[in-house]
Amino acid sequence: MHHTITSRAAANDPLAAELEAYNRAFCELELPWHWDAATFRELLDVAGERDCVSAYIERSQPHLLRVYEKGFLRDLILDARDRCREPEHHPTRAQAQAS
C-alpha cells in the first residue's frame, strides 16, 4: 500500500508532511501503525521529534521491547522516515504515469 499526501494543505504544512513521512515509513516497514494528527501532536508534546517514536513504542507497542531494543526500533523507523521524505520516494502523479 502506498500512501500519498491527500491534500494541498498537507503538502504545504510541514507538520502534515512530517506525519505523512512517518506513516509512509510504517507502511514501508510493514508495521500496522497509522498516526493521525492528534496522536502525532501529543507525541511531539510529550517527547519531542527525536523521541516521539520511542514514546509511541513504550505506550502502544510495549510487547516489541521484549524482542527489540527501543533504540534499534527508533533508528529503523527514523531512517525509513528520512527516506520517505525524499521526493524520489514518492513521485508526483505525472512522474508515476510517465514511467
What confidence score (pLDDT) does residue 5 get? Answer: 46
Q: Running along the chain, 99 residues long, what does each successive block of 10 average in pLDDT?
A: 47 88 98 97 92 96 97 97 79 45
Per-residue pLDDT, 12: 75
Q: Is 88 helix (H, G, I), strand (E, B) or coil?
A: helix
- The pTM of this model reads 0.76
Identify the pLDDT of residue 10: 55
Number of other CB atoms surrounding residue 34 within 10 Å: 12
